[in-house]
Every structure is written in structure tokens, then in C-alpha cells.
Amino acid sequence: MADDNTNGTLLGGEPPATSATAPQTLNPAPSADPAPANLSYLAGPDGALPDGWRTHLPAEIRDSKSLDSIKTIQGLASSFVSAQKMVGADKLAVPGKDATPEEWGKVFDALGRPKEATGYSALSGEAAAGFTPDQAKAIGETFWKNGFTDAQVTAIMDLYRQQTQANEQSAESARATTEAELRKEWGLMYSQNLRLADGMLTALGLREVMAGNQLLNNADFIKALAAYGAKLGEAKLADAAGEPARASVKERLDAILGDKSHAYYNASDPRHAAAVSEVMRLLATQGGQS
């Protein structure tokens, strides 16, 4: 007869323990975070990258010229930030040396050139004072062909007008100084001597040549003309000019004052100050003739 085995696992009861150790799990809990990798070989305490740092980069980028200027971790970060700012920004390619005018035109337009040569605000309306329509058009076309923006042309024209005004003020100051000096030296002979100097200009055919020349505001030059005129005599001066002195002065005045395009009426014309001086001398000469 078989023994009654009441402690087997088939007939009930608790099975005997097979081991004193705790049951093993299939997925053990992760251990604590590993120590951070030592990256000191990439940069020194000051962020400087050591020689050969690019050998740690992928082969396809380590020889890129764009990395040549990267010397520190800070520089690398700055370069990355700058590159990120450019993402999505408008890109403007600079044409090569063989680029066509049309290719350069696209660049000029992108930089802010007006759509047409007549679009410069400094050369239209009241801002164009001192220039004839043809002059303003020619200037605008030159600026436009060379790609100038409206802001650039405005700055250039402002500087031009400032310098012109300064030149006019300088010329007027010189004229006033010259007149005061001659009046003081010549006294009652001022009108007569000025008439002699004016006659010499006419006789020598120098009037138009000297119209824009500062010599007409030079006291020594005017005195020299008057001295030669005195030696020649007013009658001979009139003959040399081919007309009576009075008629010469009057016709010259009429010619200037009757021509609205003359520099006398255009404050922006570089010859304006000289023209004003000439008119004043002609009026003084005419008033001194008997």
C-alpha cells in the first residue's frame, strides 16, 4: 500500500519552500543617473576650443570653411544664434562681376531704389527748386541707373544745397569786403574807377569768362583793371568795346535782368553770387555815368 503523501502539491497543502532567497524580477529598477561625460577635452575653462577639436565632428562638416572663425564655445553659440535669426529672413544674393544690368536692377530695387527715375523726392516738387525740369530729370536718371535709394539721394542733395549756400554766403561776404575796401581807398573816385574796371572787362572780352570766377570779388584784380582802364582812357575803352560805355552797361543789365533763366535769379546756381555782384557793379557804373 502506498504511503499517504499529504504534503504533495497535488493533494493540497503548501509546497515546501525551494529556496531561501527572494523571488527575482524580470525588469530591475534603474540605477542612479550615471556621472556626466567628461567633455573637458572640447574646451578649456575659458571656453577656448583646443587644436584639433574639429576631428570630433562628422567627416562631412569638419572641414567646412564656415568653421574656421570658431575659436571658442562662446563663438560657436553666437554663430548659431545669428544663423537662427537668418532663418526665414529675405535673402539677397550679390551678383557676380559679369552680372547684367537687369540682375543688378533687382538688387537695387530690393535695397529701396524708386520704381522710376522720377521717384526721388529730393528732385520733385518744391524740393527741386534751383533746377530746371530737364536738369532734375537728368540728375534723377543718373542716380537711378546707379542704384541710389531715395534716402541716399536726399542726403546728397541736402549736402549739395548746404555747400552751395555756404559758397554763396562766402562769395557775398567777399564781395561786401571788396566793395568796402575799394570805397575806402577810392573815395569819390569809386564810381569812376569801377566804370574803368568794367570797361576793361568788356574791352578784353573777359566778362563771361569771369562771371563765375571769384576774381570779380578780388580787390587787387579790380584795381588792376581800373588802372589799365585809366591808362587807356574811357573813350578808347568804349571804342575797344565797339559801343559807347553807357550803352554797354545798359544793354548788359537789360540782358541779365530780362533773362529769368540767368544765374542772377537762381540762388542754387554756383554762379549766382558772381551774377549778383556783376549786377550791382553795373548798377553802380550806370549811376555814376553822367
Q: Are residues 168 and 264 in the same domain?
A: yes
Assigned domain for 221 exists = yes
Q: Which letter does DSSP use for residue 116 in this model?
A: S
How high is the pLDDT of residue 217? 78
Assigned domain for 67 exists = no
Q: Is the pTM of this model over 0.75?
A: no
Q: Are residues 133 and 191 in the same domain?
A: no
Q: How far apart are CA 285 and CA 247, in angstroms?
A: 12
Q: What separation in angstroms does the CA of 179 have from each of 29, 182, 282?
A: 107, 5, 13
Q: How far apart are CA 54 and CA 40, in angstroms?
A: 14
Q: Are residues 191 and 278 in the same domain?
A: yes
Q: Are residues 173 and 277 in the same domain?
A: yes
Q: Are residues 280 and 229 in the same domain?
A: yes
Q: Are residues 139 and 110 in the same domain?
A: yes
Q: Are residues 193 and 277 in the same domain?
A: yes
Q: Are residues 213 and 143 in the same domain?
A: no
Assigned domain for 19 exists = no
Q: Are residues 184 and 140 in the same domain?
A: no
Assigned domain for 132 exists = yes
Q: How far apart are CA 170 and CA 161, in angstroms?
A: 14
How high is the pLDDT of residue 151? 93
- Domain interval for residue 139: 99-148
What's phi and psi for 48, nearest 5 deg?
A: -70, 135
Q: Are residues 244 and 268 in the same domain?
A: yes
Q: Are residues 122 and 218 in the same domain?
A: no
Q: Are residues 280 and 171 in the same domain?
A: yes
Give pLDDT tens digits along the chain (290 positions).
445 554 444 344 455 555 455 555 455 555 555 555 455 556 777 778 887 778 878 888 888 887 888 888 787 777 777 766 655 555 666 777 888 888 888 888 888 899 999 999 999 888 888 888 899 999 999 999 999 999 999 999 999 989 988 888 888 888 888 889 999 998 888 888 888 888 887 777 776 666 666 667 788 888 888 888 787 765 555 554 444 445 567 777 888 888 888 888 887 777 777 778 778 777 776 665 54
How high is the pLDDT of residue 118? 92
Q: How many domains does the chain have?
A: 2
